[in-house]
Amino acid sequence: MLTTTRRQLRAYVFAEIGEEDRPDFESAMIRIPLRGRNRGLTPAYRCSNWVGCEVLPFPLTEEPHPVLTEPFSFLDIGPTGQFVLFGELNRPLTPTEHAGLIDGTKRIYVFGEIRYRDAFTIWRGRRQNRYTKFRYMVAVVDGHPRGLMACPEGNRAN
């Protein structure tokens, strides 16, 4: 059981929408930036992540399953430290996907997971990795993609 002190001091790494980062929905290849931030008071060690980006039905009928093609890299993130994550749809939207975005039956989803260790992850002789799972979707206003909003499901952390 975590004590109050451990809860206050541990690392908390989240994927957030960066105010200065704007997705470019007009280009042929959609690239959606997010910020990974350590909101805790101690470092996050061996931080790794993966991010997926897909056009899927709205509302979702099943969990998105990304294809992991990039190798993981590890970095340490100090308190208040941050790093950039990108959700990329490495192809143009199909006419069916574009029509689905306009009529509200489809959304562009950005989802992923961040894994890390903090100063308190060794507990009773075992390593317990921390994780943050996140899911955002592109908000569509008057048939045009505008920005990101958090999905009501698919966001959890330990």
Report pLDDT for 39. Answer: 95
What pTM was computed for the model?
Answer: 0.87
> Could you tell me what percent of the chain has a pLDDT over 90?
44
> Using CA atoms, how far apart are residues 127 and 8, in angstroms rounded to an integer?
20
Beta carbons within 8 Å of 5's beta carbon, 6+ residues apart:
none
- Decide which of 108 and 5 is more confident: 108
- Residue 98 backbone dihedrals phi, psi, to 5 degrees: -60, -45
* H/E segment holding residue 86: strand 82-89
Q: Where are the alpha helices (DSSP H) in the chain?
A: 4-9, 95-103
Tell me the mean pLDDT in the region 3-12.
84
> Using CA atoms, how far apart are residues 158 and 155, in angstroms rounded to an integer?
11
pLDDT tens figures, 43-76: 999 999 999 999 999 999 888 876 665 556 789 9
Report pLDDT for 26. Answer: 66
> Using CA atoms, how far apart are residues 16 and 84, in angstroms rounded to an integer?
10
Token code pair at residue 87: 């959700």
pLDDT for residue 139 is more than 90: no
Provide the number of structural domains found in the chain: 1
pLDDT for residue 40 is more than 50: yes
Report pLDDT for 71. Answer: 52
pLDDT for residue 38 is more than 70: yes
- Residue 78: which domain range? 4-157
> Using CA atoms, how far apart are residues 77 and 91, in angstroms rounded to an integer?
32
